[in-house]
Structure 1
Amino acid sequence: MTSEPAGPPSSVPVLVARTSAVADPGQLIALLPDDQHPSDLMSWLREGDGMVGWGRAASISTNGPTRFDDAAAWWRDISARAVVRDDVRRPGTGPVAFGSFAFRSTSASGATLVVPEVVVGRRDGIAWVTTVSVAGNLPQQPELRTPPCPESPVGLQLTDGALTGAQWSDAVDAAVQRIRAGEVDKVVLARDVEVRADSDLDARWLLGRLASSYANTWTFSVDGLVGATPEMLVRREKGLVHSRILAGTIRRTGDDEHDLALAAKLARSSKDLEEHEYAVRSVAEALSPHCQSMNVPEAPFVLHLPNVMHLATDVAGVLTDEATSLTLAQSLHPSAAVCGTPTAQAAEVIDELEQMDRGRYAGPVGWMDTKGDGEWGIALRCGQIDGENPSRIRLFAGCGIVAGSDPAAELAESEAKLLPMRHALGHE
């Protein structure tokens, strides 16, 4: 394992990577070993396909306003110096860096890129294994095995985070007053809760539960940040760029007929449509310098998830420059979907009213290969496992606040957004 600071190429390790096709290994999450720290288990899966990884061949931690640029420069150097044998040659083969980035540049959580020692992937019916080592050590293809099943957490205790529910509702009310006074158009307020268990949490348990219950989201694990996000910040693949924007939410009841009526109500809601319009506009404006032939639908569709429904819009474009997927993610962050409009003013309101450090919640999370292709979601529906005390995890949820927002309704929405992680933990 190596962890290298940003710097000139001489300080960057030379990685040797080998990617080989393999027979379908079955459930990818089930392959994650049981002897790794939660921070060394990586995942990016949707509908059973994607990648899992473990171990650290190399990694970097960055902080401050240059956290994206420093991480990107390190990965460029790693990619340029790597010795790669890739028999599969698809997006995600060869060396891959999994990453997560703090929401704010001032956060102590900073950012990280991790190159796993082993990555197992599957896409379009093709499966592969990539092994990575530092130069001088020829990587050997591991024997893929299914370790013992993870144990469920026990003795769970949930406590308030920075604010109680009532205090957070007051913060929402204060934000509404700011909006009505014309200080901002929209602001996204988040809250946190803390869960403690009697023993260390097994990230494999959380990932398995999330992937099973929320298969149409992206189930991720990077450096102890675990979740299932429905929002694709940006995908770059062979010159094409795609982003899925979610803003505007309503909780499901479990009754199909009633939920269809709620979906129709959501699609007509002026409050939710206004919130969604701000988010789509911010993404389209951020992508336009890098893309041509952009397709921005005039109206959103309703995305049905097990716990909630969202207004959703898929934006697509053709890349016109050499921007990598990480560069695109940097240009998009923070979007109105997780910050507000105008961005600078909304960020100031967040700092004042949330009274917490979001850490890497609502920041970009995903992966990138040596060609610059990759997928970066927004770290939503997630929790951060405490690196020093893995029996603790912080859960997060946020809501978009506009002039028509009701504090009680927003608190209920935040509870709905906490459900995926609470259910994954077994805390009903």
Structure 2
Amino acid sequence: MIETKGIKIEGVLQTALEQIQNNKTPTLVSITEKINKVDILSFFHKGKKLAKERSFWSNADQNVCFVGIGNAYTIKAEKNPYNIVKKEWSKLMERTILDNKYTYANTGPIAIGGFPFDEEKETCELWDGFEGSQFRIPEYMLTVDEHGCFLTINIWLDQQSDIENLAAILYDESSQLLDSAFIESENNQIVFEHEVNPHEWKNLVREVTNYIETYPVEKIVLARELQVELRNPCNITDVLHQLLTNQPNSYVFAWETDVACFIGASPERLVHVKDNQILSTCLAGTAPRGETSEEDIRIGQALLNDEKNREEHQIVVNMIRDSLQSCARNVDIPDVPIIYPLQNLQHLFTPVRAEIRFGCTLLEVVKKLHPTPALSGFPQKESLNFLRKHEKLERGWYGAPIGWFDSNFNGEFAVAIRSGLIKREKASLFAGCGIVKDSNPDMEYEETKIKFTPMLEALGG
């Protein structure tokens, strides 16, 4: 695209404008070109210099990456978000003008964003700017996958659009983003940490164990917050670099507004859909990594044989199997879990494969699966009711579905755990664990401390 010096951009926009003037309907125009290899972090970093909101997504295998700069169009929904997002996206795609000769699922207009953990709760001050569900179609989307590098430019046009001026701006900004010159890197440094009400949290664990003894609830997942302060305003690019380097088996994501950035490295896929094939994940049951390979194997084997963790894991397996019945067929689930190793932790892991039913999309599957017992508890309704009444933390997008989808509802969502909300030099980090009848408050507290580690390390702690 850069070699065309803006001629292609202007030509596509002019053709689109003529169509818009005939139809008298403003619309999205999306232009995709294959480009030379670009450094993803350089592209992301330069988005800040253009004073634009940024988005980032890398899957757990790090073979698909999206970097979004700016905001061409956003779909927002605070009530009934799954249905509204689906309808709004479908309507938008019907009138979107595409210039894309590539048929790959990861090119063309991509919506990237998230849903709230609990759509019934109002957003508090901490999560200002993250109200309800929000999905952004970036002005500039860099896609990097096995097919190469692609740049998609998305622009909203109406009958009064100045095509010549718009094309000049788009060409100039895309040139700046694609300049592969070295970027400066400022390392972050934590200078202060504050545990939010740890004694109150442990007391809530005890309250949950007593509650489970009395009421028909098997598990409730409690989350807590760790507040940190940095020496300087946070360099989000450096945080992404640290997460990509230190958490290679995780989904790395960032979604930035003008005042905050929600960022993390989640090991947990919620669901992936491509060509009507569903892949989901049961990830529950946790243990630390060993200091040596022998100790690591021993700890992993103990996790596989641990009755509490296996019970917790099976709850998730059963729930995902039941949830998929209405929107999937040919559901295939292995009988026993395996170990899923991460940098600081290891988990029990069971993959789930299925075929999506006719008439359903990725978003229906997300709605059915969220929240899994690994994030709220089991049964879902009873555990959510308890959290609404007793948990003091406002989860916002923490523990919620975050991900992307394309014009055909191919896409992927992870569960937004091992994450933090960053506002300049301050950050709130979140971690949780499943509480069952035999849970020990001190041990559960120590488990959450381990789960804070990925974000603490990424922030320079």
Query: Does residue 237 of structure 2 align to residue 237 of structure 1?
Result: no
Name the SS for the 1:335 alignment partner: coil
Corresponding residue number in structure 1 for 2:345: 308
Deviation at 1:416, TM superposition (A): 0.7
> Which segment drifts farther, 323-332 or 391-400?
323-332
Query: Does residue 287 of structure 2 align to residue 226 of structure 1?
Result: no
Deviation at 1:378, TM superposition (A): 0.5
Deviation at 1:73, TM superposition (A): 2.1
Name the SS for the 1:92 alignment partner: coil
The 1:316/1:403 distance shift into structure 2, 3 A limit, reads same
Among 383, 405, 411, the residue aligned to 2:439: 405
Q: Is the 8 A contact 1:88 1:128 kept in 2?
A: no
Query: Does residue 224 of structure 2 align to residue 191 of structure 1?
Result: yes
Corresponding residue number in structure 2 for 1:131: 153
The CA RMSD measured in Å over matched residues stands at 2.1
> Which segment drifts farther, 292-301 or 40-49?
40-49
Name the SS for the 1:56 alignment partner: coil
Corresponding residue number in structure 2 for 1:160: 195
> Which segment drifts farther, 233-242 or 128-137?
128-137
1:37-59 C-alpha deviation (Å, 9 max, x unpaired): 99821111134432111111111
Q: Is the 8 A contact 2:142 2:152 kept in 1?
A: yes
1:229-272 C-alpha deviation (Å, 9 max, x unpaired): 11110111011011012100011233221111000000011100
Aligned amino acid, residue 123 of structure 1: D
Q: Give the number of the structure whose residues are more often helix, by fraction.
A: 2
Deviation at 1:291, TM superposition (A): 1.1
Corresponding residue number in structure 2 for 1:33: 45
Corresponding residue number in structure 2 for 1:176: 209
Identity among equivalent positions (%) equals 26
Take 1:234 and 1:125, find their aligned partners in 2: how far apart are those partners? 22
Aligned amino acid, residue 129 of structure 1: L
Query: Does residue 29 of structure 2 align to residue 16 of structure 1?
Result: yes
Take 2:185 and 2:282, find their aligned partners in 1: how far apart are those partners? 34
The 1:149/1:280 distance shift into structure 2, 3 A limit, reads farther
Corresponding residue number in structure 2 for 1:54: 69
Corresponding residue number in structure 2 for 1:5: none
Deviation at 1:154, TM superposition (A): 3.9
What are the within-5 Å matches in structure 2 for residues 349-428 of structure 1? 349-386=386-423, 390-427=424-461
Number of residue pairs aligned between Structure 1 and Structure 2: 411
| Bigger radius of gyration | 2
Q: Is the 8 A contact 1:95 1:115 kept in 2?
A: yes
Q: Is the 8 A contact 1:39 1:222 kept in 2?
A: no
The TM-score, its normalising length taken from structure 2, stands at 0.84
Take 2:137 and 2:232, find their aligned partners in 1: how far apart are those partners? 28
Unpaired stretches in structure 1, ≥5 consecutive residues: 1-9
1:385-422 C-alpha deviation (Å, 9 max, x unpaired): 23xxx322211001011122221111111011110000
Take 2:24 and 2:438, find their aligned partners in 1: how far apart are those partners? 53
The 1:406/1:342 distance shift into structure 2, 3 A limit, reads same
Deviation at 1:101, TM superposition (A): 1.4
Take 1:174 and 1:408, find their aligned partners in 2: how far apart are those partners? 14
Name the SS for the 1:24 alignment partner: coil
The TM-score, its normalising length taken from structure 1, stands at 0.91
Name the SS for the 2:402 alignment partner: strand
Unpaired stretches in structure 2, ≥5 consecutive residues: 1-22, 124-130
Take 1:173 and 1:32, find their aligned partners in 2: how far apart are those partners? 44
Name the SS for the 2:174 alignment partner: coil
Corresponding residue number in structure 2 for 1:149: 184
Take 1:248 and 1:417, find their aligned partners in 2: how far apart are those partners? 13
Among 88, 92, 113, the residue aligned to 1:78: 92
Take 2:195 and 2:291, find their aligned partners in 1: how far apart are those partners? 27
The 1:39/1:112 distance shift into structure 2, 3 A limit, reads farther
What are the within-5 Å matches in structure 2 for residues 253-292 of structure 1? 253-292=290-329
Query: Does residue 120 of structure 2 align to residue 120 of structure 1?
Result: no
Deviation at 1:13, TM superposition (A): 5.3
Take 1:154 and 1:116, find their aligned partners in 2: how far apart are those partners? 30
